[in-house]
Structure 1
Amino acid sequence: MATTFAALIYRPDQIPDRALAQGFAVALGGWDVAAPRLFVAPLPGVPGFSAAFYASGEPAGAAGDELDHLADLFEDELSPPVAVLDAAAELGHPEAKVFALVFSEEVVHDDGWRFEASGYLRYFVREGEEGLEAGVQTPDRSDLLEIDVDLPEGATEQEERDATDRAIRPHRGSTFLAAELGAPVLGALMGALFAPERRVDVRLVEPGPASIEAETRRLNRVLRREDGRGAPAAPPPIGGVAPPAAYEAFARTYDWTDPADPQDLYRELAIGAVEGTLRFFREDELRALAREPGWEAAAGRELYPIAKLSGSALGGAPAQRTTIALGADGEQLWVVRDGASAAPAGPTFGELLRYLSLGWSRRSDAEEDFIGALMLRARLRSLAG
């Protein structure tokens, strides 16, 4: 069976799993893929390096369709290696360097890259519209040439394959990467591809109480607030639904009584179906909501209310009472209208908190990419729901 893959080659001491997960998630922000994930393994014969193989999660189809997706994704201006480097720099590794290979045996496609903060270098060979072509590319240079294969008259299929291999070998991305890393990279990648060590889920923000606490502290820093000021002793159950552990982490960390902003309103939000002005519920508001019979339907779905959403100052108030609720998994957010109908909000709880902190920050180019990915991903989820 012909093999097609896209792999990132990196040093784990420079690129932690969080940088991989975040970088690929940012690059995939506007791509409608089912369940993107990475499979990671040490790279045999290349000490100190690992490989992360990307899988879109789409149903298996024609190899050409998968290759088209991989080629388009890695050729994008905000490609996974670029976004992974941005994430690594954010995590304290601005010196990081990554390599990438998009490869297929189904057709001739061997595309190798080296990425670092100063730029990139790319060598590739592929089947173009007019036949085999090879190229070299940097941010300031792009050279493309057609490859002629000299064949003797009456050459056999094997002789044709051998002649083609000799003609393209100097131009292969895998040949370039072998020289860069001082080892035969393609064979090592083939070995690692079929012996993955672990899976890394592609996420913009990790779920779970520890991540939510970290995101809440980030938001407090951006707003110049104090962690845990005015925090309730314990969030109450609402409609028989206990608060998810992620919400408990938020509640004990958030600044509930900032004297500089007693209204505590987040205005003009626009992420997925969360549009308008948001205010996190205080304890008395939660208890009042619990007494309303209209909330029974939402409670039956094990939803826990965390915030109310009112109309934008530009668009007016919504006709229905709108609540943002957290699912039992502590990750998924829902928009609940009049306590009954519920639809996916789009962002996860952690993504909403990061969106809020970025929205009130002076953003770097990498952070602009991140908030753009947050909004694109949330929009796709809300439409799919």
Structure 2
Amino acid sequence: MAVSSSSPPSPAESPWWSPGVYADRRPFLLARGRIAATLRAAFAAEDFVEVETPALQVSPGNETHLHAFGTDLLAADGTARRLYLRTSPEFAAKKLLAAGEPRIFEFARVFRNRERGPTHHPEFTMLEWYRAGAPYTAMMEDCARLLVLAAEAGGTRIFHWRGRDCDPFAAPERLTLVEAFARHARMDLEALLPPPGQAPASAPFVAAAQERGIRTAPDDSWADVFSRVLVEKIEPNLGSGRPTILTDYPVSEAALARPKPADPRFAERFELYACGLELANAFGELTDAAEQHRRFACDMDEKERLYGERYPIDTDFLDALKLMPPASGCALGFDRLAMLASGARRIEDVLWAPVAAPS
């Protein structure tokens, strides 16, 4: 007997290709297709070029908490070269900006290990786009427009997720991290920031977090505490009623974004939220190759401390940064957007063929 779409079975109960399960999922999949076609048309109308960049990369990305899939590229003689499945198309996309493309977008298949759940999948689609010569506020306007287009194509007026509602047609609220910490965590983030160029001290942040009921560990870094407060106290409150654009991240939490000229303690980075769910991450792009290398090296040192592994740094990417024009870019989790805009309950409902779950 087919299971109602209001109560889909878990992957362990029945495979995704079971006719009954598939019949329940098919309306969401068709909505996904309409949404993708609508967004493609919107980018084309603004003279964006759709690109396709390779999934195999020298470096999968150098963010501390992202985990990649590695593989070996074999030459004819059997010599192996270690490559990785990308966690984002960002490095290749920026090389295209350096080559001279002014506006590009990609529906990119990306891969992240150690991630699976109602809103995570080890292989998913990232909609990533870049505007050369544009301020990062242009990405905010793009995000607001894409929410409307997705909702219209998906046939919904309101996004619902885990008891929260969000009106995708409403103008997004713009909220700084300082304002969010004060409002939702009752913490003074500015007082916990170091002067520009200095490493943040974790002890005051740990004490402030503990006062707010946040559990900490003896070896927590400043970034660890920041992330925990963000996840536990702030993110669940974002995008309720209307979308939220969370802006002005501390520069230490924006590895590929340029500092704000008016206050270099903060970066030109924002994230888009709806129903407490992060949908997009955008930057005013950093083009200082030496500073980018320094940030990558620090992040890989931290990754090795936490997880006992590190990924190579793509020196070809650093060379491209020297030629890349000022630009802004945004990465949007397309599957999550399709899930909200179609009314699906979990991310696998909008994936045509989900990755097999571990037995």
TM-score, normalised by the number of residues in structure 2: 0.25
Structure scoring higher RCO (CA < 8 A, sep ≥ 6) equals: 2
